[in-house]
Structure 1
Amino acid sequence: MKLQLPALSAVALTTLTLTTAWGLPNHSNSLSFAWVWLLFMVVTALPLSFIEAAIVRRTTHLPLQGLASITRDADAPTFWRILAPLSLLSLVAMIAFAVNRSAQGFVIDNHNIVTAQAFPYLLVFLAMGFAWVGMKRLLPFVWILVPAVLIFNVVSAGQLGTLALLTPEEWQQVATAAILANLSSLGVYAWLTTQHLADEHASRLVMPLWLTQTLVGLATILAGEAKGNVGVVVYMLTAVFACAIFAEVVARQLQDRKVAKPVALGLVMVSAVGLTVAAEFVVFDTVLKVVSLLTVFGLSVLVGWVMKISHARKALNFSSEAIYNLWRVGVRIAAPAVIIWLLVGMVL
């Protein structure tokens, strides 16, 4: 467990940040949200959590480099490889989305309008700085921010949610958050898997990460949302470190393609700043959801249907054939069906 502390810290920070950014704690029906969160974390997020483990353990490369081997081995069309750049774009967009949301709750003097407008960009620069230092070095120490945020939220919110029947829109809100806050198909799990390739079974890494995300997301929903600058600042720090993780994941994949680290992080920073400008528009959230969900859907189809069965079985090395078959049902049918439902629901 000591070796996994940085990995657990990474998924705890990212899950708390994105679950809050997607608005799940800020709801009176938090008890109902909690049950629906658990449902979709099992039905969709759990099978999706093994997608990048299959890719990385098969190729020993992150997706940007590894998808070429996957498609070549399966004699699949090369257009599947576009999923890797789309996942990187989604992560950079998540940086813009998270800093924009975290800065919204911070109260700044009305006379300092310029400072208020510049605040999200300051958070982006801070995240890039931590990514340059290396989040692997910082993760064993910054995990304390997660319980700190939850405590501030409980004290500030001061009330328990209620149980109530949720509307179809609320079901879709929780389902979308469970898939996108999980981030299992957008690079983070792949980045963590490369650090534990020696493990015989993929589940030894994936299951603790998924369980951590499930519990942190559940606690975030039940704790409520912080009110006041102190709680918001603590959450803001969490968001900065989460964004630094996203930035390092993207930069690391660019480095695998022989891009120098300063250039890679510079590209991430410029892209994040540009998307932070776009994040101020309402349509940005919808575009982010669509692109991210389509990327996850494509990766689910690629690993579940296109990737050779023998390669996936050997890469994941489940303890029994029954567990492997359950995972195949989840990644081939359950997860894609939920994503299609979410995409259709956004149109209707």
Structure 2
Amino acid sequence: MQDTAMSRWLSPLMAFCLSFIIIVGLAPSLGLQIDRQLDFWLLWFATMLFLALPIIYLEIGLAKRAQTSALNALSKLTREADAHQRWRVVGWLAVIFIPFLAGGILLNTSNAVAQQNDFGIGSNILMGIAAFIAFGLSFLQRSVLVVLTAIATIASLVAAQVFGVQVNDWQLTPVEFKEWGSATILALVASGLGLGLYWQTNLNQEKQDAATPKTLPIWLAQLVAVAGFGYFAISAAIPAYIVLIATIFAVALLLQLGKEQLVHRGLAQAVQYILLLAPLLIWVFPAADLFLTPILMLWGLSICLIYAIFVGWIMKISHLRKALNFSNEAFYNIWRVAVRIVTPLAIVVAMISYLGQLLP
């Protein structure tokens, strides 16, 4: 468990690093390029404001309410809400999704390294080696992993600029419906929301503390991460190597966060390792990404959708009002409308949009 002083900088720094690395890892699957289309990035900012920000508040509020990590907390939260045990499945979906997401971004980064080099090792083999290295690193102290990930992430941004990134001028293009799915995935899945990552790093908050001082730095750090991605491209071998190193550290951090949830749930160590390594290593199989990538995107959105419905419609109104401790009742009402109505509808539309992109 992190102390209060450490959590002040740990969550925002972790948010910046993980968001940037996950976005870089998911970008090839989403077809995102540095085309600087103003309409798409305005759409993304809207999703960050109206979808991502309320969900960050949701995570921090649940952390304060439950005082334990997400997977373990669902038992308590469902009992308090007099809800059916089936709602607890979202905790399992989220904790298994963590290594599954880690495998996807690690494979895409390994593909980038393989494209920039010709050393005779396939990207799947490279990904498998990197996965086991990341698993070993996941036993390091949390703060050490965050610092190593931050150093490697910043180094990758610097290396990309040194070796040249061709950036086009901003252009305004017509807004297309299919862009909504990519923007929402970029804002929610690529920010790691709904997975309990920021939940875990804010467990030491006092219940009477306001949620905003913890929430806004995380949200702003994610904005900075995407801004950095706007000027980033793997255009040479050295940046590709550095990004792979940064991804290994980020994956180690993700695995550690997932493992901590399983430990809190009281699972045997062997079961923990199986639940972490199986979803991670499934990406090693040739051509697995062709059918795993759509599952990855829709799975991540589904987790956010279930949490929004559970918190907005199933939990008792008074529980999160006290946990969030907004300075103004109007802010709470706006947040509740966003979680109950705006977020679920927007995510469903995003799923339809993304499915539409998959059709020929």
Letter aligned with residue 323 of structure 1 = F
1:88 maps to 2:95: yes
The residue aligned with 2:221 is: 212
Deviation at 1:197, TM superposition (A): 4.6
Q: Which residue does 2:33 correspond to in 1? A: 26
- Report whether the alignment pairs 1:194 with 2:198: no
Contact in 2 for aligned 1:149/1:235 (Cα 8 Å): yes
TM-superposed CA distance for 1:19, in Å, is 1.4
Which letter does structure 1 place at the counterpart of 2:195?
A: L
Aligned to 1:344: 352
Q: Does 1:10 align with 2:14?
A: yes
Q: 1:290 to 1:135 in 2, by over 3 A?
A: same
Worse overlay, 283-292 or 26-35: 26-35
**Are 1:306 and 2:318 an aligned pair?**
no
Q: Where do 1:53-64 residues align within 5 Å?
A: 53-64=60-71
Aligned to 2:172, the other structure's residue is in SS state: coil
CA pair 73-309 structure 1, distance change in 2 beyond 3 A: same
Change (3 A) 1:195 1:138: farther
Residues 34 and 167, structure 2, Cα contact 8 Å, conserved in 1: no
Contact 1:51 1:184 in 2 (8 A): no
Q: Output the aligned Cα RMSD.
A: 2.3
Is 1:241 aligned to 2:249, yes or no? yes
How far has the Cα of 1:300 moved from its partner?
Answer: 0.6
Q: By how many angstroms is 1:283 displaced?
A: 1.6
Partner of 1:230: 238
Deviation at 1:277, TM superposition (A): 2.9
1:144 to 151, 176, 193: 151
Offset at residue 200 of structure 1 (A):
0.9
The 1:144/1:270 distance shift into structure 2, 3 A limit, reads same
The match for 2:127 is: 120
1:103–1:119: 8 Å Cα contact kept in structure 2?
yes
Distance 2:286 2:178 in 1: 25
Runs of 5+ consecutive residues of structure 2 not aligned to the other structure:
none
Distance (whole Å) between structure 1 residues aligned to residue 111 and residue 302 of structure 2: 28
Which one-letter code corresponds to 2:242 in the other structure?
Answer: V
3-state secondary structure, aligned to 1:22: helix
Counterpart check, 1:66 vs 2:66 = no
**Are the aligned partners of 2:72 and 2:261 in contact in 1 as well (CA < 8 Å)?**
yes
Structure 1 regions of 5+ residues with no counterpart? none
The alignment's TM-score, normalised by the length of structure 2, stands at: 0.88
Deviation at 1:91, TM superposition (A): 1.2
Instruction: Percent identity, please.
Output: 23
Q: Deviations over 1:184-232 (max 9, x none)?
A: 21121111112445771122211101110112112212x0312111111
Residue pair 2:44, 2:187 contacting (<8 A) in 1 also = yes
Q: Distance in 2 between matches of 1:100 and 1:280?
A: 10
Question: 1:219-255: CA deviations, max 9, x gaps?
Answer: 212x031211111111112211221121111100110
* Aligned-pair CA distance for 1:279: 6.9
SS in 2 for 1:49: helix
CA distance in 2, matches of 1:199, 1:14: 29
**Cα separation, 2, equivalents of 1:14 and 1:297:** 21
Q: Is the 8 A contact 1:49 1:184 kept in 2?
A: yes
Residue 133 of structure 1 aligns with which residue?
140
Q: Does 1:335 align with 2:343?
A: yes
1:146, 1:109 → 2: CA distance?
21
Q: TM-score, normalization: structure 1?
A: 0.91
**Corresponding residue of 2:190:** 181
CA contact (8 A) 2:309 2:340 kept: yes
1:158 has 2:171 as partner: no
Deviations 1:102-140 (A, max 9, x none): 111113765624x54310011111211221113333323
Aligned mates of 2:350, 2:213 — CA distance in 1: 30
| Residue in 2 that maps onto 1:171 | 180
* 1:45/1:88 CA distance change after superposition, 3 Å: same
The DSSP-based 3-state class of the residue aligned with 2:249 is helix
Contact 1:148 1:234 in 2 (8 A): yes
The CA distance in 1 between the partners of 2:302 and 2:239, in whole Å, is 34
